[in-house]
Amino acid sequence: MVGTWRVQQRMWPAGDVQAIALPPALARRRLVGQSFLEETMELAPGSKEAPFTRLAYFNYNAVNQQYEYVSMDTRALQMMNEKSADATADGPITLYGGSFVAPAWGDAKNAGFRYRRTIAPIAHDSQTVRLYLTPQSAANAREFLAFEYLYARQR
């Protein structure tokens, strides 16, 4: 996963609407002390959109045999912390987070959500990361895809 990646981002403000394309980003991933992956994502050079920075850390914890992920993003000032339930499965890694409150999400204000993230394996120098949300206040609270990050390794 180490390297520089171009990232196409999409967002869904609800489960039944079209995706909104977010500005392209650039992610730099590096190993820190041969122990964990650090990712810094920022707006792609040349973009006229509002700048942002997202820092993320990803590792496999051999003690509890779980993948762990933590991120902070200047666009949403909350720390996201997730862990896998089972680190032995093939395919995408699923990480489960807790709850958070979004000041505004679609038509809702101060909306509470549970969340989970999937990190797909790298294939042909590309990778997909998805963030799913489940509303906590709706009667028919159904999980929906909220963000999708399509990574392409920069050559």
Q: What are 77-114's pLDDT values in tens digits?
A: 888 999 998 766 678 999 999 988 888 877 778 888 99
Q: Which two tokens stand for residue 53?
A: 């920075």
Q: Round to whole Å and give the CA distance between 115 and 94.
A: 11
Sign, CA dihedral 60-65-67-68, equals: negative
99 HSE (CA, 13 A, CB side):
8
| pTM of the predicted protein model | 0.92
Q: Round to whole Å and give the CA distance between 7 and 22.
A: 10
Q: Which two tokens stand for residue 145?
A: 């895809």
